[in-house]
Amino acid sequence: MAIEMRRGRYGKFGGQYVPETLMTALIELEKAYEEAKADPAFAEELDYYLRDFVGRENPLYFAERLTAKIGGAKIFLKREDLNHTGAHKINNSLGQALLAIRMGKKKIFAETGAGQHGVATATACALFGLECVVFMGKEDIRRQELNVFRMELLGAKVVSVDKGSGTLKDAVNEALRYWVANVEDTHYILGSALGPHPFPEIVRDFQRVIGVETRRQIVEKEGRLPDAIVACIGGGSNAIGMFHPFVEDEAVALYGVEAAGSGIATGRHAAAIADGKEGVLHGSYMYVLQDEDGFIQEAHSISAGLDYPAVGPEHCHLHSIGRVTYSSVTDAEALEGLQILSRTEGIIPALESAHAIRFAVELAKDMRQDEIVVVCLSGRGDKDMQTVREALGGGVE
């Protein structure tokens, strides 16, 4: 199956809907990335840091007690939560930081929602001695105070964005404005498989390591490919990295899990595939949560990392051709998923990943015991303890 119909497009999705001022930077980035891809030394250097700094490869772990409790398919977890900085985000931040260095750019900026991408980017910048500015919504800064402190400790400057609703969408707007004004010497490390071409491709390629390792590991352990793979979707970077090496394997069912927030029917959610319309946001043609006038709506999710009103263009395409099945899980259900995994396996997942866990549990129930489900455990839950405690009313059920 040919996914990429033409440069920067996934079917009709994707593209480069940005101000002219940024076009030269995007063209330059595309060229630099093509050269880096063709240079074995670049891959070697990235591999070195992924291994010795991030701690890859991380395990594909058989969740035996969870499997026994559910009584269906065998459940495996791809442990991105064990990466340095606690999530898959570092894979992309490191890759793009090395790319920026190749391009001779010493100044970096990024947007962040929950702060995971901001922390990962601040980390990569500290590692390589790059200047780092992170844009973060005012509301997110309030919700994720500790991550702000982490970024500052790592030497980054965190800029509060109080426009709009002060969340991720507004942080991206401000980041794009900043780029327009500083385009000549500054690289934008975009954190998800979003934005104008070539970002969705670059982010996907740097996250592909998740799926590539998983493929090798499951064959080693089980002698075959899995029957199903599950990953959560905000912008969709962990999911596209996990799915991409399996897209051609039609026998492997792929499931993307969006955040249904308080429930799709309430309108307070972040499920752009379930409830969005085609449109343009942040440089890309995607499914976008918007009103009838084309104004972008706020997303809502207990998980700040899924709190974005659109889904990356490659996911939109995979949805439109029916290759990936997209579903959604509510805040309450995700909290259940988080508790189940904590109790059965001693792993507290990030709220984002808890969406995937909850969906996988339901899926596995109806599958045979000799079937295999792999879940991308995209991050660990440490960052969410305050939110989870509040949501559970101060105690556990």
Catalytic residue list:
89, 111, 378
Structure tokens at 374: 């792999």
User: Hey, what are 338's tokens?
Assistant: 């988080």
Coil vs helix vs strand at 341: helix
How many residues bind another protein, per CB under 8 A?
37
Could you say which of 131, 138, 182, 262 contacts another protein (CB under 8 A)?
Answer: 182
* Residue 183 beta carbon to another protein: minimum distance, rounded to whole angstroms: 6
Site mask, another protein, residues 283-312, x = CB under 8 A? x----x-xxxxxxx----------------
Least distance in angstroms from the C-beta of 352 to another protein: 23
Contact 231, 306 (CB under 8 A): no
Q: Is 150 in the site for another protein (CB under 8 A)?
A: no
Residue from 50, 281, 340, 367 touching another protein (CB under 8 A): that is 281
The helix (H) or strand (E) run that includes residue 214 is: helix 199-222
Q: Could you give the CA distance from residue 343 to residue 361 in angstroms, rounded to a whole number? A: 14
User: According to the binding rule CB under 8 A, does residue 344 interact with another protein?
Assistant: no
Under the binding rule (CB under 8 A), the answer on residue 267 touching another protein is no
Least Å from the CB of residue 260 to another protein: 23
The window from 23-31, 252-260, 316-324, 343-351 that contacts another protein (CB under 8 A) reads: 23-31
According to the binding rule CB under 8 A, does residue 277 interact with another protein? yes
Measured from the CB atom, the residue of 111 and 333 that comes closer to another protein is 111
In this structure, the strands spanning 277-281 and 13-14 are unpaired
Cα–Cα distance, 111 to 256 (Å, whole number): 23
Segment near another protein (CB under 8 A), from 93-101, 237-245, 259-267, 273-281?
A: 273-281
Amino acid identity at 38? A
Report whether 17 contacts 283 (CB < 8 A): yes
The rounded distance, in Å, linking the Cα atoms of 45 and 19 is 33
- Report if residue 55 touches another protein, rule: CB under 8 A: no
Omega cis (within 30) before 226: no
Does position 17 interact with another protein (CB under 8 A)? The reply is yes
- Up-side HSE of residue 194: CA atoms within 13 Å toward CB? 29
List residues near another protein by CB under 8 A: 15-25, 163-164, 169, 173, 176-177, 180-184, 277-283, 288, 290-296
